[in-house]
Chains A and B, each alone.
Chain A
Amino acid sequence: MAMNKKERLQFSLLILAALGLATAIALFALRKNVSYFFTPQQVQELRQLDDARVKEGYVFRLGGLVKQGSLEKTSDDLLIKFIVTDELRDQKVEYKGIAPDLFREGQGVVATGSLKGDVFVATVLLAKHDEKYTPPELAKEMKKLHSEKTGKPDDKKAGKPE
């Protein structure tokens, strides 16, 4: 290439700007498909639009927090029922299998499965943790402070919906 320094600089910057723009447009077009899961609110919206991705029997992932007080153990040891919430909408979930260690009320989860009526029947259940790292004593202390302030015992929420 018989280009001098200035021409090379202009040419490269032009190419890079074009590539950046192309990627931005592509990502914008993909924004709905790149998400790893739908929140209950998004599921609700997609259902209203009759979107094929959340039709009954179609497999997708649902993510959110396990609602406080919603976890039910059944007579079948492996079957659990709970509600996944994004604090806007709730979604009933059933899962048969061994839940990950971090699975508990207030904790984030991502479940793979499909809708059967109003219930999301999960085949895979993954725990999602938040970005906060705290030693156990401090977490206990914070919990105590929180319950003193609100007057409610043990009502600490694990995090906000992302």
Chain B
Amino acid sequence: MTALGTSGSIIGRFANPGRFLALANGVLPVAWALTVLFFVAGLYVAFFDSPPDYQQGDTVRIMYIHVPAAWMALFTYVTMAVAAFVGLIWKHVLAELYAKAVAPVGAAFTFICLVTGSLWGKPMWGAWWVWDARLTSVLVLFFLYVGYMALVDAFDDEQRGINAGACLLLVGAINIPIIKFSVDWWNTLHQPASIIRMDGATVDKSMLLPLLLMAGAFHFLFIALAVFRLRTEIFARKYRAASLRGAA
């Protein structure tokens, strides 16, 4: 097993597993409470207290799930890629475990994004799926998550799996700007960005509120799941180390 954090470095000082476990116990209840609060408020405003769209009618409400899920799908991947990089270079144990811990969470967000997008595409565009650059690049993101999980578990030695996975994550990171800018670089059926754009959001205020509430809900859900799963990974590694010592 690698050394638990290089205590001399800044990263090592602020994020060793012991300190993380203590922090996790404090963070988890708060994160879960905020998740519930934001989901209740967000879903209420999304379904009962926001207007339909002038063209799309009530189907626009799919946006309040679809868009936050898409944001989180990208965000999760970026955090994993950064952690993989830190893990590869500085051999920091928390960074190494982080990507492995949150990969299923990111895959789930991507899956939600694809499914809700499909359900939205049929009534609005007239097709469940098209192979335009945006949809295809998000599907590739889903495969990257699934491929990462398969690769990490494909080695007998956990450390080798984590290292191989980290390389895949870093190579796959090139897909993130492709997803983001696909709608600007090429003609796509998917419309361009509405919120994160240079000239300000093109969503009316009454629709922006539920969207931001739901985005908050998804973020807190992500924090809760990430902390929970990372804690589980640390326990699992401690358990394996202890049972190895017991066997020897």
Q: Which residues of A does B touch, CB under 8 Å?
A: 5, 8-9, 12, 16, 19-20, 23, 27, 31, 34-39, 63, 99-102, 107, 110, 124-140, 162
Contact = CB atoms under 8 A, between A and B. Distances in A.
Given A131-B202, A134-B53, A135-B52, A125 B60 contact: no
Interface string B162-184: 00000000110010001000000
B52 A126 contact: no
A12 B88 contact: yes
Contacts of A139: 54-55
B25 interface: no
Q: Which of B85, B125, B194 has the most CB of A within 10 A?
A: B125
A31 B126 contact: no
B187 A102 contact: no
Contact of B202 (A8, A100, A133): A133
Contacts of A36: 130-133, 186-189
A129 B189 CA distance: 8
Q: Which of B171, B188, B194 has the most CB of A within 10 A?
A: B188
A126 B127 contact: yes
A132 B63 CA distance: 12
Q: Is the interface of A mostly helix, strand, loop or mixed?
A: mixed
Given A126-B130, A134-B53, A137-B51, A37 B124 contact: no
A91 to B, nearest CB: 14
Nearest to A1: B163
Contacts of A162: 187, 192
Contact of A129 (B88, B124, B132): B124
Contacts of A99: 126
Contacts, number: 111
Nearest to B206: A135
B202 A132 contact: yes
Count class of interface residues, chain B: 35 or more
A135 B125 CA distance: 20
B32 interface: no
Contacts of B192: 130-131, 162
A107 B56 CA distance: 12
Q: Which of A23, A99, A140 has the most CB of B within 10 A?
A: A23
Given A129-B55, A135-B204, 12 more contacts: A27-B178, A35-B187, A36-B187, A102-B56, A124-B127, A130-B191, A130-B192, A131-B191, A131-B193, A131-B194, A133-B202, A162-B192
A133 B132 contact: no
Contact of B189 (A12, A16, A126): A126
Nearest to B125: A126
B99 interface: no
B187 A5 contact: no
Nearest to B56: A129
B41 interface: no
A127 B56 CA distance: 11
B54 A31 contact: no
B202 A19 contact: no
Contact of B85 (A12, A27, A34, A124): A12
Nearest to A42: B187
